[in-house]
Amino acid sequence: MEATLENGTVKSLEESMGELHVDEVKKLPPLDPAEFKLKYEVKIKMSTFGEHLAKDLFLIGHNGLRWELMDLQRVMRRFFNERFQVGKTDVEQLFGWLETFFELVGEYFDYEETLLFPWISTRMLLKFGEHGIHLRLRMKARLLLVMRACEDYYSRFLYTAPGELLPEFCEVLRFLTEALLEYIDFEERGVMAFVAAKIDEKDTLEYYERMQKFIVAADYPLQLFIFFTRHVKMSDYFPAFIRACEENPKEHQEAWTHFNQISTILSESTQNVALDLPEDLPQITKSAKRLSNPLAFLRGSKDEEREKRNVRRSSGSSSGKANGVKGWRRSASKKSAV
């Protein structure tokens, strides 16, 4: 015989389950605000930018990635500390933020393989083994897999209480943060040091002109522009360098001029954004807001792109459009230029 429940019984059952959930939450020990820092936070230190023209070819992007990772930890600290109050809308906003973050990482990988390393290769020989080309590509492939794994958590959050799943998710994001920092450190200790010792620093000014064209031609030019220049403009992250320039301006005049010159060169790209991509301005503006203040973005108004993201996710990870790391997918399919 098939069991049936009257509407009143169902309602009573739902109410009792809700009360049970509330009672269980009340029994939980008070949250420790230091728990996230102890378990999941990774120390991130910015490299000094503006002291060496050739090194800055790498540091302008590396510090951009570091800043993004610091934003990621700020966002996840908030979610972890409020994990038992997180609802479905909060999860939607979180994964919308992460989608933009993963796209930025993918676009940066694309930038390295299509512009930075091919340009370096026209000026010096990079040996496949000695300068870690094969290891660089393997590390990027591993990072791609980790980001894909993070995206797959979206479906799990739909059927699991966020408070139960967030500790595990924070652990995965901690691993991603450590892996990205390992990649950055690998480049700075290896190929960056080699390039800085060999390249003519005067060539770097020509490179930034190429970089400007790359940004303008990108899918989201303003998003990339902000990614590369936020850390340059926010001098609070370079107190020692700023203080040295103020105390002895003559000695550090060249470095200080270069420090401001890069932002000036790249800022010219914004003049073309509105003319070339007017239909993308709403998305670009939202991305710029997300980059300038991630917590305000998460607390902001309803995400107009949420439904579009849901459609993309529902199509599964086999679709290229559903992958938030599309930039690196494009470059990975190309023959390596180095």
Token output for 169: 């998710």
What is the Cα–Cα distance from 198 to 123, expressed in whole angstroms?
9
What is the Cα–Cα distance from 19 to 192, expressed in whole angstroms?
59
What is the number of other CB atoms lying within 10 angstroms of the CB of residue 201? Answer: 14
Specify the pLDDT at position 226. 80
Residue 288: inside a domain, yes or no? yes
SS3 label, residue 50? coil
The number of folded domains in the chain is 1
Specify the pLDDT at position 62. 94
Residue 120: inside a domain, yes or no? yes
Domain containing 101 equals 53-332
Specify the pLDDT at position 184. 93
Residue 337: inside a domain, yes or no? no
Residue 36: inside a domain, yes or no? no
Single pTM value for the model: 0.66
pLDDT in tens, 14-33: 444 444 344 444 455 566 77
Specify the pLDDT at position 54. 84
Contact 192, 112 (CB under 8 A): no
User: pLDDT tier at 284 (50, 70, 90 boundaries)?
Assistant: very low
Residue 44: inside a domain, yes or no? no
What string of DSSP letters covers 121-152?
HTTSPPPTTTTTHHHHHHHHHHHHHHHHHHHH
pLDDT in tens, 214-268: 887 887 777 788 888 777 765 444 445 555 566 666 665 665 565 566 556 555 5
Highest mean pLDDT among 49-58, 179-188, 251-260: 179-188
The pLDDT of residue 147 is above 80: yes
Residue 19: inside a domain, yes or no? no
Residue 122: inside a domain, yes or no? yes
Specify the pLDDT at position 256. 58
Residue 24: inside a domain, yes or no? no
What is the Cα–Cα distance from 261 to 259, expressed in whole angstroms?
6
Specify the pLDDT at position 115. 92
What stretch of H or E contains 275?
A: helix 270-276
Contact 278, 119 (CB under 8 A): no
The pLDDT of residue 50 is above 70: yes
What is the Cα–Cα distance from 192 to 132, expressed in whole angstroms?
11
